[in-house]
Structure 1
Amino acid sequence: MNSPLRAGIIGTGFMSGVHAQAVRTAGGKVTLVAGSSQASGDSFAHRIGADGAAPTAEALVESDDVDVVHICTPNNTHAGLALKAIRAGKAVVCEKPLATSVADAQALNAAADAEGTVTAVPFIYRFYPAVREARDQILSGQGGDLWLLHGSYLQDWLSADNATNWRINPELGGGSRAFGDIGVHWCDLMEFVTGHRIARLIATTSNAFPRRLTDGGMQAVRTEDGANILFETDRGASGSLVISQVSPGRKNRLWFSFDGTEASYSFDQENPGNLWIGGSRSTQVLPSGNDSLGASASAQYAFLPAGHPQGYQDCFNAFVSEVHAAVRGDRPEGLPSFADGLRSAQLTDAVITSAASRSWVDVPLPVSATATH
């Protein structure tokens, strides 16, 4: 398949625009979009330069003019649309969460495996050059034995009781909001960078605002504003994670520190141009550039010299480029698939269960992890 890959994007919101830009950067073409109505689809198609708008999401999935289906709709619609795309023989990029239940995520992953479908979930923080450099150094043993894995993901977009959108509603967004929306990003990044898997956890959830203003007036909030999690990994490390969508001034502060016996590695997504590497006798701040990174696996994601930091859209562009490579027959190392979406669904379920029971909960390990540890 040498001609440009043709993308169909379901949804017309902010993330749909991010997907469209990434498709174009990857050399693809947005042939069709689908919105909640023909009018919204037509408007979005005009805005992003797509060829046209399908009358329904189902029509887009079935179209012969679409090779890759991008699902950017409310969470409760993901499973049904993704399954339709798999059955139609299309590659699928599905926004997280892959599904709002473990059972649906398992079914999607099994269906994709059975069909040999290329699938992807946009855990795009994997594509920062600094993150890849940390991964290379950790997995090569330069940090020694990791024993403490900690961090946070803090946002402020819900820092008022009149701030709301569909994610507040568990019928649309799922049973977990803060963790299910952004906590899964941190967990995916931790497991990807370190090779550790969360084996058990205990979680508490809380709300800054017990009631929020909705179209129906002030309503009780049924999903969490924040979460605190302690966990243990399959390799004997312990860790902690703080998640919040009500931390004023924190826009998208995904921060981690992965501490080993020889070195610690720290990354802050609001300052993505540097990787902090701590040693007992010296500390290094490694700029992220194609002239400064040591590992070829990280340098390939840095397109400019140090001092020109890569941003979120750049990561998304790299992610979609690797999706296209996979569709063409390659298997890029580290491309997050529906298996990773299933993993996040299992972690989310464990957090919900633990918060409700106030007890430690075991998390199923991926088959690859149980086979090697």
Structure 2
Amino acid sequence: MPRVAIVGTGMIGAVHARAVRAVGATPAGVLGSTAERGAEVARVWDVPVAYPDFDALLADDGIDVVHLCTPNVLHAAQTEAVLRAGKHVVCEKPLATSVADAERVTALADECGLLLAVPFVYRYHPLVREIAARARQGEFGGWHLLHGSYLQDWMLPRSAASWRVDPRMGGPSRAFADIGSHWCDLVEWVAGVRFGEVVARLATTIGSRPERSAASFSRETSSSPLVPVRTEDVATLLLRTTDGVLGALTVSQVSAGRKNRLWFELDGTRGSAVFDQENPETAWLGDERGARIIVRDPGQGSAEQRRLSTLPAGHAQGYADCFTAFVADTYATLAGGKPEGLPTGADGVRSARLVEAVLRSNETLSWEAIRGNSAC
């Protein structure tokens, strides 16, 4: 197993730390937003080293892989620095807040012969793999329509505050770049398509929120002053694949009661498939004769569904298991393996291009081409 350091001590940093341990590795070092925060989390996570600063981590020759779990605007520069230090990178999405930066760091990883992985982890639901395998075998035929939504409610309260709201820290897009990008990655990968163009509308439904300190990233109180919101709460997209198939996506971070509902339906000439991330143990399949529900089962279905079904049928797997499988495949790749579907820097670049096209369409009020549509 590689020796691992984690940069960032928030919720997603803790998810990475758990996954690292779940695959049999041990986090060897951690870096927080301050030396004090890093030391505190090192004690809680039982990590032996809390780095005083980023340079100290880069200088640690014992580290093989760095997991970057920091605010979005830091990703590209930190990824570049880690690669130049000769270490592999797992960078939280978005890989960068601009296409140019995403392309630059991905090219650098290739030049250095280092792995750059990006955790589009919803690919790792076993039933997602089952649908993908059936699509590749032609079970659904050619596509008629690709549609769905990704809905959350964590930004519903006006008092909700996060560095993600500030484009200086989170980038120019919030709801789409944060969660809509996951839906697009998943549907493109499962259906084996590329979206070629998009027309999008973005809206900010809550115009002001408590100010969030960019320096400390600390939790703000209800007495914090309100500041204008410059990133979107909701988005609607019409999409068209490079071979002319239409798609539709609704994205929201203010849909009451929806905690993390990534849902897609793929409608083909011979059949349809539906997956709902909030109910990941089942998938819906339909054809002209009717519909049926299939259940995750390590004894049934495609090889990839079986590989990723680590628990018996009826013992629920979910998001944390997806993350563990992603980290396991990342480390297996470092050991010379070639696991199917590992998302890498190229997928991070793809996502940045989608975000760019969505933002451009929202400005021009017209269809916009998505750059870089090579074959899947």
Q: Decide: shared fold, TM above 0.5.
A: yes
Which residue of 219, 235, 245 corresponds with 1:237? Answer: 245
Matched, 1:66 2:52: no
The answer for unaligned runs of 5 or more in structure 2 is: 213-223
Aligned pairs for 1:148-167 (under 5 A) are: 148-167=145-164
1:169-318 matches, cutoff 5 A: 169-214=166-211, 217-292=225-300, 294-318=301-325
By how many angstroms is 1:298 displaced?
Answer: 1.5
The more displaced of 54-63 and 176-185 is 54-63
State the AA in 1 paired with 2:263: W
Query: Which letter maps to 2:297?
Result: G
1:259-318 Cα deviation digits (max 9, x unpaired): 0011110000000000110111121100012123x1112110001222122111100000
Task: Identify the match of residue 42 of structure 1 among 39, 52, 61.
Answer: 39
Letter in 1 for 2:334: V
Q: Which amino acid aligns with 2:22?
A: T
Match of 1:342 among 349, 355, 372: 349
- Summarize the alignment of residues 74-85 of structure 1 with structure 2, pairs less than 5 Å apart: 74-85=71-82
Higher deviation after alignment, 249-258 or 325-334: 325-334
Deviation string 1:168-227 (CA, Å, 9 cap, x unpaired) is 000000000000100000000001101100100000001221122225512111000010
Once superposed, what is the RMSD of the aligned Cα atoms?
1.0
CA drift at 1:57: 1.9
Structure-1 separation of matches of 2:259 and 2:133: 28
The residue type equivalent to 1:19 in the other structure is H
Q: What TM-score do you get using the length of structure 1 for normalisation? A: 0.96
Code of the aligned partner of 1:104: D
Residues 209 and 76 of structure 1: CA distance in aligned 2, closer, same or farther (over 3 Å): same
The residue number in structure 1 matching 2:134 is 137
**Partner of residue 100 from structure 1, selected from 97, 102, 114:** 97
Q: 1:128 aligns with which of 125, 130, 155?
A: 125
| Distance in 2, Cα, partners of 1:241 & 1:207 | 17
Deviation at 1:328, TM superposition (A): 0.9
**How many angstroms apart in 2 are the aligned matches of 1:25 and 1:127?**
15
Question: For residues 71 and 328 of structure 1, what CA distance do their matches in structure 2 show?
Answer: 21
Instruction: Tell me how far apart the structure 2 counterparts of residues 146 and 59 of structure 1 sit (CA, whole Å).
Output: 51
Contact 1:8 1:61 in 2 (8 A): no
**What one-letter code is carried by the residue in structure 2 that aligns with 1:185?**
H
Give 3-state SS (helix, strand or coil) of 2:342's partner.
Answer: coil
Question: For residues 306-342 of structure 1, what are the alpha-carbon distances to aligned partners after superposition, in whole Å with 9 as ceiling and x for unaligned?
Answer: 2122111100000000110011111212100010000
Query: How far apart are 1:365 and its partner, in Å?
Result: 2.9
String of CA shifts for 1:106-132, please: whole Å, max 9, x gaps. 101110111111110000000000100
Q: Which amino acid aligns with 2:177?
A: G
Q: TM-score, normalised by structure 2?
A: 0.95
8 A contact 2:204–2:230 mirrored in 1: no
Change (3 A) 1:366 1:67: farther
Q: Which of 155, 164, 168 is residue 165 of structure 2 equivalent to? A: 168
Q: How many Å apart are 1:29 and its aligned residue?
A: 1.3
Between the aligned partners of 1:109 and 1:250, the Cα distance in structure 2 is: 34
- Find the counterpart in structure 1 of residue 361 from structure 2: 354
Q: Tell me if the contact between 1:61 and 1:69 (Cα under 8 Å) persists in the aligned partners.
A: no
Aligned-pair distance for 1:87?
0.8
Residues 35-74 of structure 1: per-residue CA shift (max 9 Å, x gap)? 1111100111111111110111232133112110000000
Taking the aligned partners of 2:104 and 2:69, their CA distance within structure 1 comes to 20
Please tell me the residue identity of whatever aligns with 1:331. Answer: K
Letter in 2 for 1:334: G
Which has the higher mean CA deviation after the structures are superposed, 315-324 or 276-285? 276-285
Q: Which moved more, 1:44-53 or 1:240-249?
A: 44-53
Which ranges in structure 1 are unaligned for 5 or more consecutive residues?
Answer: none
2:70 aligns to what SS in structure 1? coil
Q: For 1:89, what is the secondary structure of its paired residue?
A: coil
How far residue 235 of structure 1 moved from its aligned partner, in angstroms, is: 2.4
SS for the counterpart of 2:308 is: coil
Deviation at 1:366, TM superposition (A): 4.0
Query: What is the CA–CA distance in structure 2 between the aligned matches of 1:111 and 1:307, rounded to whole Å?
Result: 44
SS of 1:250's equivalent in the other structure is: coil
Structure-2 separation of matches of 1:261 and 1:310? 31
2:30 to 30, 33, 41: 33
Give the percent of matched residue pairs that are identical in Structure 1 and Structure 2.
47
Q: Do 2:263 and 2:274's aligned partners in 1 also have CA atoms closer than 8 Å?
A: yes
The amino acid of 1:239's aligned partner reads G
Q: Which residue of 2 aligns with 1:333?
A: 340
Amino acid at match of 1:106: E
Counterpart in 1 of 2:215? none
